[in-house]
Structure 1
Amino acid sequence: MQRYWLFSGRFSGYSLQSFQKDLLSGVVVGVIAIPLGMAFAIASGVKPEYGIYTTIIAGFLISLFGGSKYQIGGPTGAFIPILFGIVMTYGYENLLIAGFFAGIILFLMGVFRLGSLIKFIPRPVTIGFTSGIAVIIFVGQIANFLGLTGVEKHETFYRNMKEIIMHIHTINLYSVLTAGICLGTVLFMPKFFPKIPSPLIGLVLSTVVASLFYPQQIATIGSTFGEISSALPQFKVLEMTFEHIQTLIGPAFVIAALGGIESLLSAVVADGMTNTKHNSNRELLGQGIANMITPLFGGIPATGAIARTATNIKNGAVSPLSGMIHGIVVLVILVLFSPYASSIPLASMAPILMVVAWNMSERHVFYHVLKTKTEDSFVLVVTFLLTVFVNLTIAVEVGLLLAVVLFTKRMSDMIVTAKALPNPDNKHEKVESQMVRDDHDCPQISIYNVEGPLFFGAAGEFEQSIMNRLNYKPRVLLLRLAKVPFMDTTGEAYLSRIVKDFSKYGVVMISGIRPQPKSMLKKTGLYGYIGKEHFFEHTGDAINFALQHLKRDKCLGCKHFAFRECTVLSGAHENVKEKERIVTTS
């Protein structure tokens, strides 16, 4: 059991060469993670070292216990609006408690095997809130990029925009120059030196330029947040009360939900890049463990980081050891070089986050969905706007609700109930709806082709379409359900109403019913009520059975000839014979 938990085949065939690859990728990703960890922490409203603590502890634990061989965990941009809102509303200490609760929720999601639920979240919703988060992050860094002073941070987007506009006259050209140096390095260096971590180089280069040529002219990490300590993160017991649970369980669920979505999406990306398969439930367990332990050392919530995971793979990682090494590398750098980090300008951090926001915006996918001009486009836009102008929680809730309602509407539109008769011109006498006409319709046998799922969104329409046409009270009602793939209890209830109402004066028969609807009818007892003898595999057998239960006197003289047997049943063949006899006698 222990071997399964820690290794589970993820280190099978591991060699010294594999370790060398993991070491290289771990070092590269670790170096990249440092500026990102600090930037995400600052943008979330907490001290930069808390982002480093998160990178170290959560990064190590997610790789150790998670379900993906290549996942790199840590603070991410997706969490910024949520964490900033929690810090503004409840404070940093309560953020740690909310993160701990989120870890418990994630762990329980893994225990109860809810990892597969990620596939039920519609893509327009994920693209909508991801793009919205990207806009919030980007706009949130404008003040630092321009070096604006006197700007207060708010939880809402429009108030932050108002602050920027009100203080735009305080622009600092030294900040703009510093940010421009870092931005240019981040954007253009990968084209010439793709293996070198451009965010770190941009950070170092712009910091050196600012320190040498215009010190004291721009805000730095040290001047804003104080010196970054090189001490190791200290264990701290969180003070949790019942009031904390009541207050923070809502934010915890939001953190857990977003963390689960982000980590599993990242794992899916890693699968696509490596042609492997992650264990989604184990990934949630690992995320849960990491988010329960990290707050005990002052770290903020963490999840799988798509960009860092992709970088890990591109640099040759072969096992989870690369992720663990990445955490150790960050720890070593914290101990050795943290005093130097205090002189990093905030203007140097801003373009790094702006590029992260630009990359995570998925603008091409956003435009692709938008130009389809479908219900998905509507869900996308609503989710995006609510994320930016309200908050992520409301955006996801409304986005999911809209997606469900629109999906239900689409599915209900798929239900087709049409009266039908055999086509005598068809070789197999296929039962078709276009055969029914005013002068060609059996008064005693009503056949209906039913197509589409018979569920709560379509059951009412199904019942009305049949009951409204049965006012002439035929003898037999034959429902062809071969194209009904699914039936829920609501669909069964409406079908039951049709059956029980019609059974007062006629016989109900069903042909071609599929396994799931058949199972539903058996569970509710409707199958027994209709009678096993009234269920048929083929429509032809059902029609033959129905013809035997007609009122023959009503067939006499009928001129509809809906079935080939009608010539005999209506007595038309007797008239033909009588005419032939008269002609012969004459």
Structure 2
Amino acid sequence: MMAGLTVAIVALPLSMAIAIASGVTPDRGLFTAVVGGVIVSALGGSRFQIGGPAGAFIVLVAATVSHHGIDGLILATMMAGVFLAITGYLRLGTYIKFIPYPVTVGFTAGIAVIIFASQLKELFGLDLAGKEPGDLLPKIMALGEAAGTVNLAAVTISLLTIATIVALKRWRPSWPGLLIAVCLASLTAAAFSLPVETLGTRFGGIPRTLPMPALPVFTPELAIAVLPDAISFALLGAIESLLSAVVADGMTGRRHRSNCELVAQGFANIGSGLFGGICVTGTIARTATNIRAGAYSPISGILHSAFLLVFMLVAAPLASYIPLAALAGVLAVVSYNMIEKEAFRALLRSSRGDALVLLVTFGLVIFRDLTEGIVVGFALGAILFIDRMAKNVALEAHEPFAVDDVADASNGDRGEYNAATSTDPDTVVYRLTGAFFFGAASTVGTILDRIADQRHNFILDCTAVPLLDSTAANVIEASAHKAERAGVKFYITGASPAVRRMLRAHGVRPPHVAYAATIADARALLLSATTPRKESAP
């Protein structure tokens, strides 16, 4: 109960702040935390996951509201829930974890920058002549043109909120710094009658109850229009929730069930949409707070939603006095904490490839689009991985064996090839090392074509090949047929059952090649084939 209460105190101002920054009313953030939070905790694959609105969705939600309105947002949220549930039922959650680390760090930092930029208007109390632009550069230009309208009272409230949160985190980390800071800012604004906008002046406060569930407006045209947004919601929700679950695993030593978590996130988004909420996902900061507060079961997450509902019932009239500048201060601190500064610096120093993936993802998220940043970053990361794996594939020559040295042949199998010491100039042995796949096919194929017809016997040892794909199998098949046409006997040794199945599926089978367990076995086959049989006595 104490863990649930602690998280609810943290989630109360944060849910409203995220909703406002997303371009919707603050009550929708609370509906999301109450309905989505209870479903995530009740059905999820992590015992400690706290679901609710997340800062990572601010950019996507704001864009969807701008283009398709509230009805389009709710429909996209529920469609994303269906996609997430299907992803979980199809057991595809494992593949979501394949997002490269530089991509996650890059898009998280990019989102943080965009969130902070979106709060500059409220932080400084600026009065824009028209609608605030959504893109970063036009937004900064518009804010710069409105610099003369700075509200010193709003700046004071913002700085007071930020300073209180930072101070409490340093000297009283166990205290609910976000709620205390918002309450202090609200009291200050009311006591001194500061001319700042509040939840009451802009939104009329928040309701005291949950709305009745209702299906969103649905038309085929609207569904097609919001489909890209729904896919983006589902992709980001899957990444964010599973990343949060991994963080929880690291803090507790337990292991979450990724597919079960995705199903829960799916139903949570459907439920949130039915009650007029926005996107739900697992939230790292609130999940960590839940664990630090002593949670050990999903009950704390369920109670966190119940406490939020109680707060709505009891304290809704007081929420009207919360200054928007205070909530902007909360999000400013959240955006700063979202940037993994040490990880960012470490990736910049680690390698050029990782730095490129990081910076490209970061730049695309800020200046283009979140989904585009993730997709391009993932593609670059995959290319980088392929290049690194391809460089680890090696094809090395080994010392051929002597035709009259049957004993202890395996001891010399790993030695470097030396033609001067070879007693069997008609046999060449090469050892293939590493995962042989399409990335290394061209390089290895060139070497095989060059050596497969230089001796009467060619042995290719695959003992150190953990996997082999269809492209690699096709390369070996081509080399085997070329060797056959040249009259060369082609032997493959040490192939695992999986590698042998792939090779046979692509035509690498007798009589084109012969298989042996070891190089020594291949040697024995060669000796038996070349040793003349004794004629029987008349």
TM range (shorter): over 0.9
Opposite residue 430 of structure 1, the aligned amino acid is G
Question: In the alignment, is the contact (CA less than 8 A) between 1:509 and 1:530 conserved in 2?
Answer: no
The equivalent residue for 1:206 is 185
Alpha-carbon distance in structure 2 between the residues aligned to 1:452 and 1:193:
53
Tell me the equivalent position of 2:308.
Answer: 330
**Aligned mates of 1:316, 1:434 — CA distance in 2:** 60
* 1-structure distance, mates of 2:117, 2:154: 16
- 1:54: Cα distance to partner? 0.6
Paired AA for residue 540 in structure 1: A
Distance in 1, matches of 2:198 and 2:178, equals 17
- CA shift in 2, pair 1:544/1:528, >3 Å: closer
Q: CA deviation at 1:385?
A: 1.0
Residue from 196, 200, 207 that aligns with 1:222: 200
Q: Which residue of 2 aligns with 1:106?
A: 84
Structure 1: unaligned runs, 5 residues or longer? 1-22, 553-586
Inter-CA distance 351–154: structure 2 relative to 1 (3 Å threshold): same
Choose from 236, 242, 248 the match for 2:220: 242
Kept in 2, the 8 Å contact 1:475–1:550? The answer is no
1:281-360 pair list within 5 angstroms: 281-360=259-338
Matched-pair contact (CA < 8 Å) for 1:132–1:387: yes
Partner letter of residue 192 of structure 1? W
Moved more, 499-508 or 534-543: 534-543
2:392 to 414, 422, 431: 414
Amino acid at match of 1:122: P
1:390 match:
368
Residue type at the aligned position of 1:190: K
> Which structure 2 residues correspond to residues 434-473 of structure 1 after superposition, within 5 A?
434-437=416-419, 443-470=425-452, 472=454
What's the CA shift string for 1:512-565, capped at 9, x where partnerless?
11222112123344234445xx2111212312433555699xxxxxxxxxxxxx
Instruction: Specify the SS of the correspondent of 1:535.
Output: strand
Q: Distance in 1 between matches of 2:490 and 2:503?
A: 14
How many aligned residue pairs are there? 526
Q: CA RMSD in A?
A: 2.2
The aligned counterpart of 1:118 is 96
Tell me if structure 1 keeps the 8 A contact 2:401–2:424. no
2:145 matched residue in structure 1: 166
Aligned partner of 1:60 in structure 2 is 38
Counterpart contact for 1:445–1:475, Cα < 8 Å? yes
Aligned partner (choices 546, 559, 563) of residue 526 of structure 2: 546
- Which residue identity is paired with 1:313? I
Residues 370-415 of structure 1, C-alpha deviations (whole Å, 9 max, x = no match):
1112312211111111111111110010011111111111111122
Deviation at 1:65, TM superposition (A): 1.1
* 1:15 match: none
Picking from 440, 459, 465, the partner of 1:484 is: 465
Deviation at 1:63, TM superposition (A): 0.8
Deviation at 1:223, TM superposition (A): 2.4
Give how far 1:457 is off. Answer: 1.2
How high is the TM-score relative to the length of structure 1?
0.86
Q: CA deviation at 1:471?
A: 5.5
Give 1:446 deviation, angstroms: 2.4
Q: Deviations over 1:426-474 (max 9, x none)?
A: 99542356433578695422221211222111112111112123454x2
Bigger radius of gyration among the two: 1
Which runs of 5 or more structure 2 residues have no equivalent in the other structure? Answer: 533-538
> Over residues 344-365 of structure 1, what are the superposed CA-to-partner deviations in whole Å (9 max), with x where a residue is unaligned?
1111011110111111111111
- Once residues 485 and 52 of structure 1 are traced to their aligned partners in structure 2, the CA distance between those partners, rounded to angstroms, is 51
TM-score (norm 2): 0.93
Query: C-alpha distance in 1, partners of 2:255/2:276?
Result: 33
| Percent of aligned pairs sharing the same letter | 36
Give the AA of the match of 2:469.
Answer: D
1:507 pairs with 2:489: yes
